[in-house]
Each structure stands twice: as structure tokens, then as C-alpha cells.
Amino acid sequence: MAYESIIVEIEDHVAIITLNRPDALNALNSQLLQELSKALGEADANDKVRCIIITGSAKAFAAGADIKEMSDKSFVDMYMSDYFEPAMRTISNVRKPVIAAVAGYALGGGCELAMMCDFIIAGENAKFGQPEINLGVIAGMGGTQRLTRYVGKAKAMDMHLTGRFMDAEEAERSGLVSRVVPPKKVLEEARQAAEKISEKSLLASIAAKQAVNRSYETTQEEGLLFERRLFHSLFATEDQKEGMSAFLEKRSPQFRDR
Ligand code: CO8
């Protein structure tokens, strides 16, 4: 399918999805989110792809949901269409690892989209924020829930109530992003991380992702049991035998996702 609001490239085992609405700082509208969720579904189903990167431009990852598209909508429009919900569900249910490579603004829905990814690599110029309060609304794509879990109540409340932006240094210090690099190196850093992930067994990567995500959904005891059962189940795979044999034989493993 030809996309208009995103660009999809597959390099080796990595699908790179670039948000591409430069005139609107990659604001997220219905079309972009539908295209993004379709592209993510295709990448998830593509056997060649082992890791996915979502990125934007040097100035903006995404400056939020498209205010022009939303401004005239009524409660009934929003409620009956369950605005953005199907796309958000698809995006956050991708099974393969997804990295957000963020340079510039990641605001509102843009910050929320980055948080739907498995981890965020940020450029030094990145700015995260939930400025919806300035528009007379609140976050609607998970910002009150995910940001609070990732950076804690104090900073989440501060950002949601004042609308202030968090720079990359503060975001790394607060646990929102995993790495900060010079803006020009954001995509390269994400690509290197994606290539490293692509070398692993995809079975183990998916299990790791599911287990970490489960920690946000359940008690520690249940989470520990879930982790243990996944760990046990990986002993049914050829990749576990290969990984451990390779270590003992002092060679690199050749994982086959079996
Ligand atoms: N929506 C639509 N257009 C936008 C958006 C946006 N979110 N952000 C920027 N643009 C457009 C501007 O209108 C402008 O277009 P034009 O040239 O046609 O006037 C162009 O992008 C460039 O923007 P600026 O001229 O404003 O650029 P600056 O460098 O001066 O400022 C900022 C950059 C600070 C990022 C500024 O553009 C800004 O504050 N943008 C809005 C940020 C914001 O409020 N985001 C939150 C939006 S609401 C939201 O995300 C809710 C998500 C929940 C949805 C839930 C559904 C269930």
C-alpha cells in the first residue's frame, strides 16, 4: 500500500517508519494513525522484520494530535467514533520490539505514541510534554497513565497540570528515555540498537517484551510467575539449545526463531 503520511523502509531486518507530515510537525491525524497501525501490522507479520523503529523529523517526532482535525468535533463525534482507539490498540499490541527515535518535539499524542513504544532513544534537542491542558483538554492517548508509571506522580502531575516540557536530559534522568545522543545520531543509534535486537532469538525478544509489559498490569507475585513460566517455556525452543551451546563452544549463536 502507498502511504501518504508515513514512509516505510525495510533495511536488513529493521522496519523504519518515519512520520511524514512536515508542514504540521507530524501532528497525528486519523489518516496518519490508520497508516501507522497498518504499517506496524505489516511489519509485525513480515518474517524478514525483527525490530521496528518509529521516528519523525529533526524538528518533531510529533507535536501531538492534529488540533485542526479535532477542534470542531463534538462529544458525540468523539464518543461514537472512539476516536483513535482502534489505531492505538494496534500500535500498542505489536509483538516485535518497537523503538521510538525521538528528535525535537514529542508533545501530547506524540509523547504518548513514543511511550507506546518499548523504549525511547532521544536526541539532545528532544522535548517531551503533555500540553493538552493549554487547549482546555487533557491527554487522551495514555499520557495520564503511562507517563505516571514511567516518571512517577510528581513529574507527571507537573507536566499535565502546567503543560511544561521536559528536555532530554531530564527525561533520561526521570526514566522516560533510555539513551540521549546528539540529534543527528538519533536514528543511527536506534538502528544500531535494532540491529543488536535483530541478532537475538525473536522468541526470546517477544517473551522479554511480554514479561516487562506484564509488570505494569499485575501484582509482583503474578508477574514473577508469568516470567518464570515464559522462562520455562523457552526451554522448548531450539534457540535456547543453540544459545547455550554457542556460549559453551565459545562461538556466536545462530538463532532461527524455533
Ligand atoms: N496539530 C495541528 N497542527 C500543528 C500541531 C498540532 N498538534 N502542532 C503544530 N502544528 C502546525 C502549526 O499549526 C503550524 O502550521 P501552519 O504553518 O500551517 O500555521 C506548523 O505545525 C508549525 O508549527 P508552529 O508554527 O507552531 O511551530 P513553532 O516552532 O513555532 O512551535 C510547537 C512548535 C511548540 C510544537 C507548537 O507548534 C505547538 O505548541 N504545537 C501544539 C502542541 C500541542 O498542543 N500538542 C497537543 C495536541 S492535543 C493532543 O495531542 C491530544 C492527544 C490525545 C488524542 C486522544 C484521542 C482519543
Average pLDDT over residues 51-69: 98
Question: What are the φ/ψ torsions at residue 83 (nearest 5 degrees)?
Answer: -40, 125
Average pLDDT over residues 11-15: 96
* Ligand 1 atom at shortest distance from the alpha carbon of 66: 1
pLDDT at 2 over 90: no
What is the identity of the amino acid at 65? A
How many Cβ atoms from other residues are within 10 Å of residue 256's Cβ? 12
Average pLDDT over residues 209-223: 97
- Domains of the chain as residue ranges with CATH: 6-199 (3.90.226.10), 202-249 (1.10.12.10)
**Residue indicated by cell numbers 487533557:** 138
Q: How many residues does the chain have?
A: 258
Q: Whose CA is nearest to atom 10 of ligand 1?
A: 24
Expressed in angstroms and rounded, the spacing between residue 176 Cα and the centre of ligand 1 is 22
Q: What does the mean pLDDT of the chain come to?
A: 97
pLDDT at 228 over 80: yes
Expressed in angstroms and rounded, the spacing between residue 26 Cα and the centre of ligand 1 is 8
Say what the ipTM of the complex is. 0.98
Average pLDDT over residues 226-234: 98
Does ligand 1 come within 6 angstroms of the Cβ of 202?
no
For the chain, list the strands marked E by DSSP: 6-11, 14-19, 51-55, 60-62, 98-102, 105-107, 119-123, 127-129, 165-167, 179-181
Does ligand 1 come within 6 angstroms of the Cβ of 97?
no
pLDDT in tens, 116-173: 999 999 999 999 999 999 999 999 999 999 999 999 999 999 999 999 999 999 999 9
pLDDT in tens, 90-105: 999 999 999 999 999 9
pLDDT at 256 over 80: yes
Rounded Cα gap, residues 230 and 241, in angstroms: 16
Alpha carbons within 13 A on the beta-carbon side of 182: 2
- Show which residues are catalytic: 65, 109, 112, 132
